Structure 1
Amino acid sequence: MTEEQIRHARALLTHPDATVASIARLLRVSRSAIYKYVPELEDGGRPAVGASTGRSRLGPGA
């Protein structure tokens, strides 16, 4: 993932309805890439608004 994609993923993960799967589809990367480059998600945590790191889930059906 590029630095821009990582920043975008982290920003999207601040949204309560965001899922890793939907973010991965949007950025055209695998879910495993999201988990690799946003390691905070492994703990099940979500980034705070404005945080530079973090993971969360995006949208239903993801």
Structure 2
Amino acid sequence: MTLEQVRHARALLTQPDATVSSIARLLNVSRSTIYKYVSELAMGRPAVEQPTARAELEAESGH
């Protein structure tokens, strides 16, 4: 997933009716990909951008 897709997923997850499945379909990725890149889901925290996750994603993409 791109950084923009991760941000989009996190923003969508703040909406009450959004589900991981619906967001995965919208972004054309699997549910497991959403869980992989939006790590706070596994921790049970609200979807907010974490600086550590962003830095890791940017390092992977070479930016």
Please report the TM-score for the alignment, with normalisation by the length of structure 2.
0.71
| Higher helix proportion | 2
Say how many residue pairs are matched: 50
Divergent runs of 4+, >3 A: none
> Superposition pairs for residues 39-54 of structure 1, below 5 Å?
39-47=39-47, 51-53=48-50
The CA RMSD measured in Å over matched residues stands at 1.2
Unaligned runs of 5+ in 2: 51-63
Please report the TM-score for the alignment, with normalisation by the length of structure 1.
0.72
Unaligned runs of 5+ in 1: 54-62
Pair member with larger Rg: 2
Q: Which has the higher contact order (CA 8 A, sep 6+)?
A: 1
Identical amino acids, percent of aligned pairs: 70
